[in-house]
Structure 1
Amino acid sequence: MQSTRSEGHPVNINKSQLSKSFDVFDINMTADDRFTNINMLPWIPMLIFCLDLTQVLGFRCDRRPYGSTTQSSAPDGRFKLLIDELEDTYMPDQLYIVKIIATDDSSRFSGFMISAEGDFKPDPKNQRKLVSLFPGEVRPLNPITAKFSDRCLYSVENAIASAKSSVEVYWQAPPSGNGCVTLRAMVAETESTWYEDGGPLSLRLCEDTRAPDDVTPLLNYQCSICDEAKYELTFTGIWSRNTHPRLYPENDWVPRYSDMVGASHAAAHILWAPGTLATDGFRHFAEHANGSKLEAEIREKIGDGVRTLIKGKGHGYHKMSNPTYAFFRSDKINHLFTVAVALHPSPDWFLGVTRFELCREDNTWLPERELDLYPWDAGTDSGVSYESPNMETFPQDAVSRVQMSSYDKNSPFYETDMKDLHPFGKLHIKLIRTYHRECAEEEATSEPEASTEQSTTAEDEEGESSQGESEESLGEPEEPSRYQNTDLAFGRRGEAPLVTDPESSEDCPMSQWQDWSPCDGLCEGGRLSGFRWRQRYHLVDGVAVEKYDPEVDPSSRKEVPRFCKNHFDDFEREECADDCSEKEENEITAEKQMMPIAPGHGWTSKRHASKG
């Protein structure tokens, strides 16, 4: 976890630099001098006021060249401060290279200083005072030519006074919320000829306020949609050696995505969010790419702030770019959703969105949206790269964005321009259908807000008795999809035991293929065309080590040999076609499977029953 500073910082004033000019008493003074200075005592309060005013307005430290006794000259345009391809805005947390260059072939300079100054805002503790916002960090790029300044805050100056036509330093832009930053340069040709500030030697940059896709949008606390909604989530991985080559794990079979885990929930519920501490379940999820503890935490909140547990199958070697699907329900109380996908290997990095608003300002459901996803840091491990050794962050830090533009050469984001950074995944959100609900009935039977979520959940457990156009499925929970493990909701009792496939290799035993899923796709012209799938498991000592089991510690599981993973598939998909019902013809997409709202209820499929 690489933390950043975003709070306001008072400008530090070295008052000793001023006291030399305002000595009131000195042991070497004569009596007459002391008498004269006694007459200055009434001015001391005014002097203190001036010092405080100087602190408020930002005391300008002495940036003149060492040994110089002359004033600066006005910049003549022969030297310029710049950042390539940057004019008046900066991206928060971006690492930039700031340069001083000579604009002609003959000019040279021997000394320099580059400083960053933040804007001011009222001190929250005392509105009559101002504090300086954090301007980011300025640091040397080449320690031979530059060093941290011991005279000025947030400044770098020359390490040696040698003639040069250019110099470069790092500037790490501040986190979001720090407003504008002014970069200033001092350039010295000699001790007596030097320049500072002015047009060519200063840059004022303001924060680019365009938010990334995966930043939480504004919440609609007044959502009053009566109809409920069913959504499909599709996560597609992009992280690969081609898109993110720096420090990508050497062994291609190591990288993988965890299961997609999340929930649809009410505004008061927080699964994870920037600035908050990760729970134990989320910590385990982010560090080990295992969601069992996090899922348990979510299940405990079903009916108490959570409507639906969201779960989609994770993918690994050879399947990193395969889409992962999940489905969930939302209503006017539970109109937000949060999901996360952990990156493995990584210290504690994950992708996702938090508290994403589905209820629009005009009180309609969001129809569709696609989001680019970039890594977040859970704040529990201080590693800087994918395969860094475990380094527990103590005390635990808050969830924040991974520092995606770093001056640390051990980071996969070393000197990365965030404008050129590929996303690590995409999340597609699509409204599948709505379920009609009568507002009058809902208001008449609703409990106080604390129990509204429970009554909503109970209604779904009893069946969708008020769906209107879905009478044929009344009282029947929907069948879970292959991407959502039924063991999560129903336990493992009654589960058919795995049988070894007699045709599999002795060196790489496999379970028998499971039954094909129902045909799933679009209904057009009375025919349903799409795909069906089935899966099986690699067996190690007779155990399906890759099959989800919440009672088994993932660290105790044995590994499937690499050869077996490379040569024996555990997933098959094929095209299919089937007759679709009258209900399916009227829907935008065929009804896909969804995990029930609350665990503990079995399901039956009328499609299967009709074929039997």
Structure 2
Amino acid sequence: MTQQHQTSVLKMQQRLLKLLFWIVLFVNYTRGFRCDRKPFGTTSVASAPDGRFKLQVVGTDNTYVPNQSYTVQITEKDGESQFIGFMISAEGDLKPDPRSPRRSVAQFPGVLSPADPMSAKFTDRCLGSVEQASNLPKSLVEIRWASPPAGSGCVTLRAMVAENEDTWYIDGAPLSRRLCEDLRQPDDAAPQINENCEVCGEAKYEVEFTGMWSRNTHPQQYPENDWTPQYSDLVGASHGTQYILWAPGSLVSEGFRDLVEHANSSKLEGEIVEKIGDDVRTLIKSKGLSYPKMNNPTHAIFRTDKNHHLVTVAVGIVPSPDWFLGVTRFDLCQEDSTWLKDRELYLFPWDAGTDNGVSYESPKSLTFPQGAVSRVDMNSYDRNSPFYQIDIKDLHPFGKLRLRLIRTYHDECESSTEEGDTSTEESGKEETAAEPEEPSRYQNGDHVEGEQPIVEDPEVSKDCPMTKWQDWSECNGRCVNGVVRGYRWKERYHLVDGVPVEKYNVGDSWRTPRKEVPQKCKDENPDFEQEECEDTCDEKPKEEQMPTVGRQVMTRIVPGNTWSKKRDLTVRH
């Protein structure tokens, strides 16, 4: 064979080897992460796992919460076995490559890292894997796993355990854990929006905020002076689907920044008022809470309708860098186009993305450029953080929000029913009677059956006429030992041209033009009052006292259910 021919053959072999290399690389790329996980220097093959060693993820079942830190352990199960070597690797599930549908790529599996550099280290044999730092016998090893972000699918954690140089085990049920993303969300995460809300008429709601932040429930880094902590005013809006006051992943306005950093709500209120009539229906506002009434409820009333069936509110936490509580774009129009009756939501801190502080009383540190709204950094490794190594699933809520339907205002669509159907309401729904057919009934002494007649209050100035106060509502609260303690309210209405504004939905063209109440009259004559009350009540069975709209059974939150089904939220003092 000539030298030229030998050179040609050698080049051909090199091309084949290079091609083989790229084929192997492509296969590994498409099949997911693979590497050599044999113990150093071993010449034996792996033995079948016998159950004496187990891989486990502390504090979870078969799910993980995105962007959380977990402790991963290899431990013995018989009380005496030990091992000298190990390796733990993480693999993401495969998904189609968006650039080439015929190929598959592995999703990001999160980050493994040593918990103790004396027992574990990163390995240079397998990307992102962790192995033993020494060959000393051990019965337990721990490493950290930072779970991947939302939308990463399932992750498989795999372990190799070397009992000695010749006996080692790999994978199998005891040494593998497959965890899929926990799609359940906290109560204050917004549910899916009903884009096809066909509810009739309008509704009046009460929003009640109750603080649950205290030294007993959140002792870590709690401010030293008990009179320092407080909540800002609750501010929000009822609005349509195009309006965003705040939302995860978005930037907040200057007014919102003033609320969360300085507990000043005036600019934010002005920003909301400017949008009234442009996808905003009502400005929501209630008084802030401070020592010694931090845990008292505060209330506000707002209106909703078919086009403005979402509600967003926020409450600043003081002191804090830029932390707040609230719900965003929460839909009050249910899938069957009826108004939500009652809901309690437990609230956890959000970060407005405007300040870099890590503790309640951190000095001001401007975030530049401004960040997006996100959860406060849970499971922080900063010892100055009140959330140092705390998982949100184990965190006591900072507040509770209750949304309660007070009454509904029917519209003409209530009369459009299918032939043979004589009722437009399901049994058990307590709503007001249908509206009168003739608009003239708004301007005389007639009234809807079951309601009090409209009577003008002679003690109010003729320049700002109003109806007389309606009767007090029943005392609303929980019945305990035959006594109910809570709140009752009463209301009255401004009169414009004899029409009780907001008593009926008078804005429809087939009735009367929309009536505007002068601001002076609104300031001088309130139309809503409430007070604390106490009354006797009949004891109800426990199951009746805990209705399905309460703590345990919540509406569906996309794409799963809420954590509250499995979290014990009882306050422990």
**TM surpasses 0.5:** yes
Secondary structure class of the residue paired with 2:473: strand
- What is the Cα deviation at residue 530 of structure 1? 9.2
Structure 1 counterpart of 2:291: 317
* Cα distance between partner residues in 2 of 1:334 and 1:129: 45
Alignment of structure 1 residues 456-475 onto 2, 5 Å = 469=448
- Among candidates 24, 33, 39, match of residue 65 of structure 1: 39
Structure 2 counterpart of 1:129: 103
Alignment of structure 1 residues 369-408 onto 2, 5 Å = 369-408=343-382
1:422 paired to 2:396: yes
* Cα distance between partner residues in 1 of 2:117 and 2:516: 59
- Among candidates 142, 145, 150, match of residue 176 of structure 1: 150
* Cα distance between partner residues in 2 of 1:236 and 1:298: 23
- Among candidates 495, 516, 523, match of residue 473 of structure 2: 523
Structure 2 counterpart of 1:484: none
1:266 paired to 2:236: no
- Structure 1 residues 162, 369: closer, same or farther in 2, change over 3 A? same
Alignment of structure 1 residues 236-247 onto 2, 5 Å = 236-247=210-221
* CA displacement, residues 271-309 of structure 1 (integer Å, 9 cap, x when unaligned): 111121222222232222322222221111111111111
Number of matched residues?
460
* Cα distance between partner residues in 2 of 1:137 and 1:212: 24
Contact 1:80 / 1:201 at 8 angstroms: preserved in 2? yes
Contact 2:472 / 2:488 at 8 angstroms: preserved in 1? no
Structure 2 counterpart of 1:113: 87
Secondary structure class of the residue paired with 1:602: helix
- Structure 1 residues 144, 520: closer, same or farther in 2, change over 3 A? farther
Secondary structure class of the residue paired with 1:287: helix
* Cα distance between partner residues in 1 of 2:334 and 2:14: 67
- What is the Cα deviation at residue 82 of structure 1? 1.3
Contact 2:312 / 2:326 at 8 angstroms: preserved in 1? yes
Alignment of structure 1 residues 440-589 onto 2, 5 Å = 469=448, 522-523=472-473
- Structure 1 residues 72, 299: closer, same or farther in 2, change over 3 A? same
Which AA in structure 2 matches 1:345? P
Structure 1 counterpart of 2:339: 365
Structure 2 counterpart of 1:52: 26
Structure 2 counterpart of 1:152: 126
* Cα distance between partner residues in 2 of 1:196 and 1:179: 24
Secondary structure class of the residue paired with 1:281: helix
Structure 1 alignment gaps of length 5 or more: 1-28, 442-463, 480-517, 532-573, 582-590
Structure 1 counterpart of 2:278: 304
Which AA in structure 2 matches 1:309? L
* Cα distance between partner residues in 2 of 1:426 and 1:521: 29
* Cα distance between partner residues in 1 of 2:148 and 2:117: 22
* Cα distance between partner residues in 2 of 1:260 and 1:286: 11
1:197 paired to 2:171: yes
Contact 2:223 / 2:361 at 8 angstroms: preserved in 1? yes
- Structure 1 residues 519, 192: closer, same or farther in 2, change over 3 A? farther
Contact 2:109 / 2:148 at 8 angstroms: preserved in 1? yes
Contact 1:337 / 1:356 at 8 angstroms: preserved in 2? yes
- Structure 1 residues 303, 192: closer, same or farther in 2, change over 3 A? same
Structure 2 counterpart of 1:89: 63
* Cα distance between partner residues in 2 of 1:606 and 1:392: 41
- Among candidates 217, 223, 227, match of residue 253 of structure 1: 227
- What is the Cα deviation at residue 425 of structure 1? 0.6
- Among candidates 319, 325, 337, match of residue 351 of structure 1: 325
* Cα distance between partner residues in 1 of 2:382 and 2:198: 49
TM-score normalised to the size of structure 1?
0.67
* CA displacement, residues 239-274 of structure 1 (integer Å, 9 cap, x when unaligned): 111111111111211111111111000101111111
- What is the Cα deviation at residue 400 of structure 1? 1.4
Q: Which moved more, 1:325-334 or 1:44-53?
A: 44-53
* Cα distance between partner residues in 2 of 1:474 and 1:179: 63
- Structure 1 residues 33, 288: closer, same or farther in 2, change over 3 A? farther
TM-score normalised to the size of structure 2?
0.71
1:234 paired to 2:208: yes
Structure 2 counterpart of 1:330: 304
1:104 paired to 2:78: yes
Contact 1:93 / 1:405 at 8 angstroms: preserved in 2? no
Structure 2 counterpart of 1:434: 408
Q: Which moved more, 1:372-381 or 1:307-316?
A: 372-381
